[in-house]
Structure 1
């Protein structure tokens, strides 16, 4: 899989010129924002609330993030990078099965609720989910699309569709089922979905 920027570096897009960020302070802000989203909801996760919870000044937060939406997405991204790391080693098929199963499991908990809330916030405030795609989904989608392409190249994946369409079929299906409460959604279902849609050989 081709190298790309790490998820840990993805928030640099929000950094403005000036004094370099403190990793400790950045983590405190991101962790506080996610904790507030998960426990009190997005409406209560204001910049003021994050500043109080993290013991970081509002001035610092506004300096490092261009908007509240950007902060919420980066907080979600940071948590996702810890909870759902992109697979780095192993055969493409197995890495895809593992990640899809972990995503399905995560959707059933607070992670799923927070993800849906953040997307809804972005659409409500801006009219589109573009900022969510730019700051979160784009990188992860590109990495997994490249993984599918690698499996097609080594012939462990038999599906001949474009890697982008195959990725969307897998993860779009899981998210669709989650949003509308369609059963079943489970790690086992996610693994079977990957095998079926990608026509994985040697299951």
Structure 2
């Protein structure tokens, strides 16, 4: 007689969590954030409303996790390469950022999240802790190592340099000012490295 295996609660929970995140991502793309509700997410995911509230305090938190999951699937875990070519290393993170910001599928969810984050202090803290601060941190560390190696000016303001790398991209995205492509990302890297006195700024971006 075959031995029966008891259901694994953790596996069932993970399946439910994935279904909820998939449902939230699909619904916000279809209807927009304003018309999204926890009830609609639960119905699409095939779970009870209380299951969602057990893991997330609001629909904004669910959409934020769905956004993070989609971003990780598309670009992998957060990281910055460290090679002898600082410009290439920075392009390796700026180019995928340009790809993401120019993706129509990202645009609707991204703008909804920006609006929600600005009006929800708890979600803003989560956004800072889980997404923005880690991204800025790994970039600053890469620039710090370059400064220690004499690849950029010894008095370079690294915090300002990090803001100069990412700020123009998000400004352009938010205001729809122009294309966000690899060429723009490369020009941005070159401009920042030139301001930091890096030798790479003298060459052309590859």
- TM-score bracket, shorter-length normalisation: 0.7 to 0.9
Aligned residues: 185
**Residue 149 (structure 1) aligned to one of 134, 144, 151:** 144
**5+ long unaligned stretches in structure 2:** 1-8
Do the aligned residues in 2 keep the contact of 1:97 with 1:191 (CA within 8 Å)?
Answer: yes
Structure 2 Cα separation of the partners of residues 39 and 153 of structure 1: 49
Give the equivalent residue in structure 2 for 1:201: 199
What is the aligned partner in structure 2 of residue 175 from structure 1?
A: 170
| TM-score, L = length of structure 1 | 0.77
Max Rg structure = 2
2:100·2:106 contact (CA, 8 Å) conserved in 1? Answer: yes
CA contact (8 A) 1:122 1:129 kept: yes
Partners of 2:75 and 2:96 within 8 A in 1: yes
Alpha-carbon deviation of 1:158?
5.2
Structure 1 residues 55, 113: closer, same or farther in 2, change over 3 A? same
Given that 1:141 and 1:167 are in contact with CA atoms closer than 8 Å, whether structure 2 keeps it comes out as yes
**Aligned counterparts of 2:79 and 2:130: Cα–Cα separation in 1:** 19
Aligned equivalent of 1:73, options 64, 82, 85: 64
Deviation, 1:46, is 1.4
Equivalent of residue 116 in structure 1, options 102, 111, 118: 111
Measured against aligned partners, the alpha-carbon deviations of 1:60-110 in whole angstroms (never above 9, x if no partner) come to 110111222222211111111222333454525423202211111221222
Question: Tell me, what secondary structure is at the counterpart of 1:161?
Answer: coil
How far residue 55 of structure 1 moved from its aligned partner, in angstroms, is: 1.4
Runs of at least 5 residues in structure 1 that lack an aligned partner in the other structure: 1-18
Q: Which residue of 1 aligns with 2:41?
A: 50
CA distance change for structure 1 residues 51 and 95 in 2, over 3 Å: closer, same or farther? farther
- Of the three residues 92, 111, 118, the one matched with 1:98 is 92
Root mean square deviation, CA, Å: 2.7
Shift of 1:173: 0.6
- Seen in structure 2, the aligned counterparts of structure 1 residues 129 and 57 have a Cα distance that, compared at 3 Å, is same
Structure 1 distance, partners of 2:128, 2:35, is 23
Change in CA separation of 1:150 and 1:35 when aligned onto 2, cut-off 3 Å: farther
Alpha-carbon deviation of 1:147? Answer: 2.5
CA distance in 1, matches of 2:49, 2:102: 33
